[in-house]
Structure 1
């Protein structure tokens, strides 16, 4: 006979209760451990979330602070800037400085070659930043005491920058507005600036001769212009705006 069949009813009942209590304890312990694991996970996730939000807040605060610092700097710049030759907007200006100790020779011929390659198609209604930079550099030379008649600018245009030098008809067809750079380009032309385009870039960017403003000369490639004009004594400015 088995051991269980030999037990009296009272003893059997006690054994069943003991077994039940044992298993209940095991399940309770497991459940408690699982609950602790979940609580730990939840705590870690909450801490990670709080840490991430704090980092985002700090980053946003720094970004906003930098934006206001830039606005303040621009406002201060506008208040003092001068435009000795061309006023092409705020960023073509020059900050007057006293007690300059290094002065360029005003008797030299300043042969300046500007290589323009970029165009911001997201803001076609604004003055092209590269052309504005050309105006700023000329302003800086004149503000430094160099006579305007001693400055010989050559503007070499290739890549996307070709768009900034197109007729209103072409510009309208592409950007649905007139070319906002016309006046500034005209002022540079009056100063005696020479404009040269790259025929290779014209092919790839689909800008034909008729689309360019009439003062342009066309070179087979910008590369030979860049090399030959430097051999003629021109200083190259690569404008990355």
Structure 2
């Protein structure tokens, strides 16, 4: 019985040590307020080079779980911005493009059009505005708009129309942008 208690004590002590070691002693990174939750980990083995320029095209194709939920792809873009800015990367060094298509198309809608389609306010508008202010270019697939019988008057102010997500991704990858499918 004493051996079992000793073994249990060692196991619990080890679990406590690893739980504490995994918990960062730093504050959250919040360039994009209230979105893209990220924690700075200064001791992580792989860190972004703050002098390097970043070019990425984020292809968002999945609808949120419910019309009242924020688009999870936009949250991931916000996390990327938050992590890189907290690592010393400046706005000038970020060339980020978001392409909304397929299920994510409605995330680009202005509030009146979103309310007509979903019966609630568009929960993505504040996040879209913050991403745009952080220098992220925002586009919606023109083909997806057309298939949903929507037009440019239906869009949030900071959203532009691309001919198609497909052609934009091809063009941007040929210009050196990394594709990040979300």
Give the TM-score of the pair, scaled to structure 2: 0.78
Residue 136 of structure 1 aligns with which residue?
Answer: 79
Residue 99 of structure 1 aligns with which residue?
Answer: 43
- Structure 2: which 5+ residue stretches go unaligned? 1-21
- For 2:155 and 2:135, the matched residues in 1 are separated by 18
Residue 22 of structure 1 aligns with which residue?
Answer: none
Residue 223 of structure 1 aligns with which residue?
Answer: 166
SS in 2 for 1:139: helix
- For 2:124 and 2:73, the matched residues in 1 are separated by 11
User: Which segment is superposed worse, 169-178 or 213-222?
Assistant: 213-222
Question: What pairs with 1:71-86 in structure 2 (closer than 5 Å)?
Answer: 82-86=28-32
Question: What pairs with 1:171-182 in structure 2 (closer than 5 Å)?
Answer: 171-182=114-125
The answer to whether the 8 Å contact 1:115/1:156 transfers is yes
Deviation (angstroms), 1:113: 1.1
Residue 232 of structure 1 aligns with which residue?
Answer: 175
Deviation (angstroms), 1:151: 1.0
The answer to whether the 8 Å contact 2:128/2:158 transfers is no
For the structure 1 residues 160 and 101, does the alpha-carbon distance in structure 2 shift closer, same or farther, using more than 3 Å as the test? closer
The answer to whether the 8 Å contact 1:94/1:143 transfers is no
Residue 112 of structure 1 aligns with which residue?
Answer: 56
- For 2:88 and 2:26, the matched residues in 1 are separated by 18
SS in 1 for 2:31: coil
CA-based RMSD of the aligned residues comes to: 2.4
- Structure 1: which 5+ residue stretches go unaligned? 1-75
Q: Determine which of 123, 136, 147 is the counterpart of 2:66.
A: 123
Structure showing greater Rg: 1
Deviations 1:4-58 (A, max 9, x none): xxxxxxxxxxxxxxxxxxxxxxxxxxxxxxxxxxxxxxxxxxxxxxxxxxxxxxx
For the structure 1 residues 81 and 117, does the alpha-carbon distance in structure 2 shift closer, same or farther, using more than 3 Å as the test? farther
Residue 42 of structure 1 aligns with which residue?
Answer: none
Deviations 1:90-119 (A, max 9, x none): xx2222324234333222211121111111
Higher helix share: 1
- For 2:69 and 2:58, the matched residues in 1 are separated by 20
Give the TM-score of the pair, scaled to structure 1: 0.60
- For 2:159 and 2:152, the matched residues in 1 are separated by 9
The answer to whether the 8 Å contact 1:197/1:216 transfers is yes
- For 1:148 and 1:185, the matched residues in 2 are separated by 16
Q: Which has the higher contact order (CA 8 A, sep 6+)?
A: 2
